[in-house]
Structures are given as structure tokens and as C-alpha cells.
Amino acid sequence: MPERDMLFREAIAEAMREEMRSDESVFLIGEDVGASGGIFKCCEGLFEEFGPNRVIDAPIAEAGYIGLSVGAAMTEMRPIAELMFGDFALLAMDQIVNQAAKIRYMTGGQCKVPMTIRLSMGAGRSSAAQHSQSLQAIFAHIPGLKVAIPATPRDAKGLLKTAIRDNNPVLFFEDKMMYNDTGPVPDEADFILPFGQAEIKKRGSDVTLIATSSMVSLSMQAAEKLQDELSLSAEVVDPRTLVPLDEETILASVEKTGYAIVIDEAPKGYGATAEIAARIGELAFDYLDAPVMRIGAADLPIPFSPPLELPTIPDVDGIVNAVRKQRGV
């Protein structure tokens, strides 16, 4: 399959453009998604091609336009709602948790809610405590919602197209620090990636690093250091979706290596790292040569000041040191 390099944000835009071209029920709504192309420029060119009836600039009223999107989805439209910062999803919790997630079940499947909510996440750009959170685990906890969390431009495009086509509400988390990352993307209009299918980003035999979003890149760098400094071969597994979660791929890797470390940018407490570690403990305990370790952000609000902010989020050395501790080397 031919490929070409593109930015993460360009892959997002291309996925939306292709789906809007192929399905007139798809529309985009959010703050500044129109002529300005979105705060992170993920929507550039869409307003010019599809016009104001399908690329809708919403007011600063997240509860309002997320609620509108739920209603539109119930009437067989396929809205893509962009939340400028994932933190703002907290302003629409009733619409997401009590309406979008529940309606298909409460109607016995008679009413579908095919909507996608795109959310930026993550720290590292001095956006401070109210614009830097990683809230994916909150929504992964809610039955009725699916949660996708891509780590590369390729995955961003393939997973977003799948999200838009899904008949259930999908929370699609995009790390804002990756928008200008470049990577190969298949040059094929119908390229999609199924949910619930993890990818082994790097094969190894000595330790399994299970990483999400921007933590995948850090884990790949850590794997290089582990090979160079300790002659340890790390396998890097990217779940790509938290709901549904590909247990089979994760467990097969852990059964092979005997060691597992789970890395996610959100705080460790009650988060994705805890859930994945628990499943490994329940389903692969006999294969473990050491307890599962977890790496996440510090359990505190993200500071604004860069010298204070950066130490609160995982880094390459932290992953390498965790492997050293786990292996006793």
C-alpha cells in the first residue's frame, strides 16, 4: 500500500474530509472549527469545501453543542463534535454520560447514537491545570462509550474514520503535543483501522511496555536505551483503543516476556494503567516474573510553569529506571 508522510493534524483533517465527502450525514461542529480551521488547525480546509451548514462554528457552550450533537445522532446524522480542550468535556458530562452513552440501551437498540467527540489531551505546552488534563479513563469507565487514543498519524486517520462510521458514541483523544508530529499514512481513501486491535510497535523478548498516545513514542525511545545500556529487548504494545481493549495481544506479549510496565500520561490512581495492570494480574499472573509496574503523571494539578510542569509527566528516563527497578539491575 503506497504511503506518504503527513502531520498528525493533517491526518485528522483528511479522515474527516473523506468521511464528509462520502456521507452527507456527517458534519463537524465546535468552537472555531470554521474559517479559522480550529485552534490546533485540525480542521483546515473543511469550511471552504463543505460550507457553514456542515462545518459549524459553535458558541462557547459545550453542553449546548454536545447536546445538539446527541440529538442529531439520534435522527440519523453523524456529528463530529470537537472540544477545543478535553478538559471542557466536564461541562457536558450529562449529555455524554447520561444521554449519549445510555440512549441505545434504554431504547432496546431502536435508537442509535453515531457521534464522535474529538478531544485534545495532555500536558507539556504550559496550558496550566484547566487545559492540560488527560481524562480518557473517566470515559472508559462509562458503559456505552468507546474510547480511542491514537499515537501516530496513521493510527489517527484509520481510527477516526472507524469512529465516524461507528453507530455508538466514541470519545477520540488526541494529544495536543503530537499535532505537528510527522509519520507515514496510507494513500488510500478507504484506509481504516478496527477498534479493539492493539499494535505491537516494536517486538522484543525481555519486557513488555504497554503505552498509550504520546507515551508510545517515549516507550520507543526507552526501548532503544534499554537495548544500548542493558542489552534488554523491550516489546512496545499500543492498545490504540481503551474501549474496546485488546486483551489478547497484551496478554500474549506479557506471557512471552514475563515483565510488564504500563505507561499513560494521566495520573496513575484509578486510571488506564490500573485497569490494564489489573487485567494482566488476573489473567496472566502465572507468567509474571515480577509485579506489574505503572507509570503516569504526578497526582496533582498540572502546573503552568514549564520547570514545574515537565517533572509531573512521564519521560524516557523514568521508563528506563522503572525497568531497572523491576529487573533489579
Residues taking part in catalysis: 62, 131
Answer whether 236's CB lies under 8 Å from 201's CB. yes
What are residue 184's DSSP bridge partners?
5
What is the C-alpha radius of gyration for the chain, rounded to an integer number of angstroms? 20
What is the C-alpha to C-alpha distance for residues 124 and 129, in angstroms, rounded to an integer?
Answer: 11
Residue with cell 445510555: 102
Across the chain, where does the E strand assignment appear?
3-7, 26-30, 55-57, 78-83, 116-121, 146-148, 170-175, 182-186, 199-202, 207-211, 234-238, 241-243, 260-267, 293-297
What is the C-alpha to C-alpha distance for residues 191 and 167, in angstroms, rounded to an integer?
Answer: 18
For 236, residues 6+ apart whose C-beta sits below 8 A from its C-beta are: 200, 201, 202, 204, 209, 211, 216, 219, 220, 223
SS3 42: coil
Task: Take residue 281 and report the three cell numbers written for it.
Answer: 494480574
Maximum Cα–Cα distance for the chain, whole Å? 60
What is the C-alpha to C-alpha distance for residues 177 and 124, in angstroms, rounded to an integer?
Answer: 7
What is the C-alpha to C-alpha distance for residues 97 and 103, in angstroms, rounded to an integer?
Answer: 10
Residue 278: in which H helix or E strand, if any?
helix 272-283
Task: Take residue 326 and report the three cell numbers written for it.
Answer: 523491576
Answer whether 244's CB lies under 8 Å from 146's CB. yes
